[in-house]
Amino acid sequence: MFKWMHRQNQHVSAPRQQHSPSRTVEQSYDNALEEIQARLQHIADISYQQLHPDKNSAYTLIYIESIIDMTILYDQIIAPLQAVGQAAAEGDKMSAALAGSLTSVQSVTVLDVKQVVAGILDGSAALIVDNQTEMCLFPISKYSQRSISEAQNEVLITGPQEAFVESINANVSLVRHKLKHPDFKMIKYSLGEYTQTTTYLMYIEGLCDSDTLQQIGSKLSEIQIDSILGSNYVAEFIDHEPLSPFPIIQFTERPDTLVASLLEGRIGIMVDGAPQTLIVPVTFFSLMQSPEDYFQQYVASTWIRWIRFFFVMASFLVPSIYIAITTFHPEMLPSDLLTTIAAAREKIPFPALAEVLIMELTFEGLREAGIRIPRPLGQTVSIIGAIVIGQAAVQAGVVSAPTVIVVSITGIASFIIPHFELGLAFRLLRFPLLIMGGALGLYGIIIGMFIMYWHLVTLRSFGVPYLYPLAPLVLQDWKDVFWRVRWPKMNKRPYSFGSSREQRQQIEDE
């Protein structure tokens, strides 16, 4: 019968070694244990558990209690080790120990103390046997995590409701549940000197563009930073257009969106601790698509897309056009409407540009306040605040009623954009267009739109034109841009993402 002893790291008085080199095989059991203790000194939740099969031998299990599964440790590692006491005394102790414990727990045999320390910090239990040159790691990590829930930012009425969480293992399982094919590949990276954050580069072999895959892999390998605490850390390192207001990387919290993108020949980047996964490359029109477009009847999806495009244009053009017309081109308005607007603005002390800027900044402040305050109060404060402040401003004669209507329509239109990053870009561009419309009228708006269109035409997302398939013009891919055709008609993958396997299904065009 084994006698075992449990002690905490604070009882160990081994001196700290700042730059001790990693020693390997020929070191003794005591030397290996001392070096591990020195490297893991002053860690309150580490445990050294000793097992003594006989007077001449000893095993030591080293683990951090807060990040391992203690039930697995006692039931599937310690118990089998106790069962091989006689075999360990008579022969190769490490082989006997592994033979008794590998029945249910995977193990990795290592020779380097540095690898053992890294494994312990990653949630493994390390086993050291006296007079043996090998050490063993049992990956039995167990971290606290929230359960799978509905998506918070990509909300659907129909379709799957599950969303990614902070655990990368849980997220991978959600993807593998939908994508059951051996060509689905993942490349692992450990990013951050201190955090050692697990990051997966995901793709489907034979579908994605090999040059893009190599480019992204090189960028990930070059990341040198203390910590990676979220997917946006990685996004900023691989973003090759940091000055553009338009996103060239898509964020998603939905497994079905990621899988659909991988099947189009795109590439995913999943970061441990982040419920958002990155997708590259992207186009403007892919960011204008909602996952729900593919779970509704195709005629309804097409109609909703047209509404979406209309209100996206309205979200940043309506305030500028209102200022330009009321300030420089009032003759363009019908006489009755012009009279109404003039009467409403008769006693307003500010020009139209100042009115709209005041209300736009107020609306942005209310929107941000609604996000930051506690969730039960957020929506109430945003809605009531907008109504009360708008009504009070009109009654006080600070702004006119038409201005409040224009800003309200603009705010509602901005919420129609499916992806937050693209919506934020249009929110930012709204203010330069306001100033140009207030300074030069419609001519200023035309100049601003020309500059924005020129930027979009020249913008690339990892080699893919941002306005594809509009510029360059590829009519065969319009079937999933301005309208959505039936699935039997979408028998080819999008041309822009460079997939070498163009055919999606064996159905001839009608």
- Per-residue burial over 283-320, b if 16 or more Cβ lie within 10 Å, else e, is bbbbbbbbbbbbebebeebeebbeebeebbebbbbbbb
| Same structural domain, 353 and 424 | yes
| Same structural domain, 300 and 278 | no
Q: Domain ends where: 118, 139, 160? A: 139
Which residues make beta-bridge pairs with 55? none
- Looking at per-residue pLDDT, the higher value among 376 and 71 belongs to 71
For residue 149, what are its two tokens? 């829930």
In a domain, 377, yes or no: yes
Yes or no: say if 322 and 446 are a contact pair by the CB < 8 Å rule: no
Instruction: Give the mean model confidence (pLDDT) for residues 88-113.
Output: 65
Quote the pLDDT of residue 132: 74
| Same structural domain, 364 and 305 | yes
What is residue 440's three-state secondary structure? helix
Long-range contacts of 441-447 (CB under 8 A, 24+ apart): 441/324, 441/327, 441/328, 441/329, 442/321, 442/324, 442/325, 442/328, 442/329, 444/324, 445/317, 445/320, 445/321, 445/324
In a domain, 151, yes or no: no
For residue 405, what are its two tokens? 């209507």
For residue 268, what are its two tokens? 């995913």
| Same structural domain, 130 and 180 | no
| Same structural domain, 22 and 86 | yes
Quote the pLDDT of residue 15: 37
| Same structural domain, 233 and 326 | no
In a domain, 500, yes or no: no
What is the Cα–Cα distance from 76 to 86, expressed in whole angstroms?
18
In a domain, 153, yes or no: no
Which backbone phi and psi does 96 adopt, to 5 degrees? Answer: -65, -40
Yes or no: say if 87 and 99 are a contact pair by the CB < 8 Å rule: yes
Q: Which of 145-149, 283-287, 292-296 has the highest mean pLDDT?
A: 283-287
| Same structural domain, 351 and 460 | yes
| Same structural domain, 270 and 319 | no
H helix runs in 136-254, sequence order: 168-178, 210-221, 231-238
- Looking at per-residue pLDDT, the higher value among 20 and 35 belongs to 35
The number of folded domains in the chain is 3
Instruction: Give the mean model confidence (pLDDT) for residues 141-170.
Output: 84
Where in the sequence is the domain holding 377, given as residue range(s)?
Answer: 296-465
- Looking at per-residue pLDDT, the higher value among 12 and 299 belongs to 299
In a domain, 83, yes or no: yes
Yes or no: say if 192 and 225 are a contact pair by the CB < 8 Å rule: yes
pLDDT digits (tens, 9 = 90+) for 444-489: 999 999 999 999 999 999 989 999 988 888 888 888 888 888 888 8
In a domain, 474, yes or no: no
| Same structural domain, 307 and 456 | yes
| Same structural domain, 113 and 192 | no
| Same structural domain, 274 and 302 | no
In a domain, 343, yes or no: yes
| Same structural domain, 129 and 187 | no
Calculate the average pLDDT of the chain. Answer: 83
In a domain, 490, yes or no: no
Q: Any idea which of 90-99, 163-172, 296-305 has the lowest mean pLDDT? A: 90-99
